[in-house]
Structure 1
Amino acid sequence: MRSPQKETQTGLFSSFLESTGFARSQDDTYAVNDYMASRDALAALNQSDYFAQAYSGKHGDFISRFPAFDFDRSFEGLYRYYGKQVDVSLDSTTSITSLKVNAFTAQDAYRINERLLELAEQLVNRMNDRARQDTLAIARDEVARAENRVKEASAALSGYRNEQNVFDPDKQSTLKLQQVASLQQALVETRTQLAQRNR
């Protein structure tokens, strides 16, 4: 059986995760790896009965082809067989994910490998879309809370103005300061005049 194998540094799908602008996490890698080994991935891969046909009929010998010794042609039987032909493993030390596909022909092995990568990319895109939507929802909530705080502050300021009969606190305080400055200037001028007269 042919066994094309692909390995990618820091996870098989790091480029997919990086290209979206979202930070890559080990949890994402585990999720993608688990998906490729799942029944959902097999169901997508086996559309039009492709996977089952690639491993049965004229292909392989009686011992190696599908169905195996139990002659179980059900989906569960196919899934057990799938688990023996497709291996997804993550080396936690190096963060390298390996995808290994065994098939009776190099063409089938390559096609299954490529299809699994496509399915994995679609999953990553869905996860990133969900993360993007979650981020937007959080941002909208923050904006709504900020708007509420502004409304509350405006209401409190309006209440203060009404209670203190202040039309504009900033302008009001500026006018008071200007009046004080004018009085101080007048006082200085008066003292200067008195000093000149006493000479």
Structure 2
Amino acid sequence: NESSLVEAYIQSADMIKYLDSTIQLRDHYTSDEADMFSGLSSEHKQEDFYQFYLNHVDVSVDSTSSVITLRTRAFNAEYAQVINQAIVEKAEQFINTINNNLAKSKLVFAKGEHEIVEQKLQNAKTEILGFQSKYNVLDPTAEGAAFQQIAFSLEATLAQKKAELSTMATMMSNMAPEVINIKREISALQKEVEKQKEKISTTEGPGQSLSVSELMAQYSNLQVQLQLAIQAYSSSLITLENARVEAYQKLQHLVTVESSTLPDDNSYPTILYNLVLFGVALLLLYGIARIIVATIREL
């Protein structure tokens, strides 16, 4: 709870050191403005100074709204307001610095993670380009399908030519020019079919030969890696943007709902109460003294 954190900081020794160095809090507590009962002794210890500060600064936190109420007491109204304003300013600086540092650390972490993801995406792209350059192929899947289509077309043409040759053989001599020509066409088609099948079955690369199916498997794996890298990049980009928005929102987290006010009159010390208390104490001392004197006379 940030409100509790602010409350603890206001009541901390660091806050006292800050107030003493900026508005000379110790000098005020030990000044002649205080009466003999209300001031801080000039020969005080650090623990006395700390306890005196806590007795003159009241911090309360509303558990529902988390609103912090700060009341400060001093030996004059103006200085009480000065203490209040100094505490509020320092508390705002303290909590906002913590929030800003936390948001910045998250942003730095998000940037670092995004750079890693971005590098993985670049590596995936580089591997795709390297694969295409190595085997001189743009898309093995598309090219494999094209080779198969050409092979199917050639085989269909070859089958047609063989059928024509069978028909001619029943009507013409093997030495007939038409028969010789169609045999040449069949031979050329057979060579072209074998050539296309060889392209489908084997693709030459630096130092190795791979079938089209093997190329398609490797290329598909690289494509999957690229798609995963793209998805990770998109997710990382969203995370980075959210971290930036959070860092902006944390720039001013603790705000002053109501500025410190100058009191119209002194609330402490209650002079009448102190006078009555002092009178009662004198009467008690007087009574004790009379008893002692009477006892001595009897003896």
Q: Which residue is equivalent to 2:142? A: 173
String of CA shifts for 1:72-106, please: whole Å, max 9, x gaps.
52332211111111121212134221111111211
TM-score, L = length of structure 2: 0.44
Q: Secondary structure at the match of 2:24?
A: helix
Q: Which residue is equivalent to 1:59? A: 33
Structure 1 segments, 4+ long, off by >6 Å, are none
Higher helix content, 1 or 2: 2
String of CA shifts for 1:108-145, please: whole Å, max 9, x gaps.
11000000011112213321331232122112212222
Q: Distance in 1 between matches of 2:57 and 2:133?
A: 75
Q: Which residue is equivalent to 1:154? A: 125
Q: Distance in 1 between matches of 2:68 and 2:92?
A: 14
Query: CA RMSD for the aligned pairs?
Result: 3.2
String of CA shifts for 1:134-159, please: whole Å, max 9, x gaps.
12211221222212321442354356
Q: Secondary structure at the match of 1:104?
A: coil
Q: Which residue is equivalent to 1:14? A: none
Letter in 2 for 1:64: S
Q: 1:89 aligns with which of 57, 60, 68?
A: 60
Q: 2:74 aligns with which of 103, 108, 118?
A: 103
Matched, 1:116 2:116: no
Letter in 1 for 2:121: V
With over 3 angstroms needed to count, the CA separation of the structure-2 counterparts of 1:135 and 1:174, relative to structure 1, is farther
With over 3 angstroms needed to count, the CA separation of the structure-2 counterparts of 1:91 and 1:126, relative to structure 1, is same
Q: Distance in 2 between matches of 1:133 and 1:94?
A: 27
The within-5 A match list for 1:1-199 is 26=1, 28-47=2-21, 50-67=24-41, 73-158=44-129, 160-161=131-132, 165-169=135-139, 173=142, 176=145
With over 3 angstroms needed to count, the CA separation of the structure-2 counterparts of 1:174 and 1:37, relative to structure 1, is farther
String of CA shifts for 1:25-48, please: whole Å, max 9, x gaps.
x3x222222111111111010116
Question: Can you give the 5+ residue segments of structure 1 that lack an aligned partner in the other structure?
Answer: 1-25, 188-199
Question: Can you give the 5+ residue segments of structure 2 that lack an aligned partner in the other structure?
Answer: 157-299
Q: Distance in 2 between matches of 1:48 and 1:143?
A: 44
Over the matched positions of the two proteins, sequence identity in percent amounts to 26
With over 3 angstroms needed to count, the CA separation of the structure-2 counterparts of 1:167 and 1:91, relative to structure 1, is same
Structure with higher Rg: it is 2
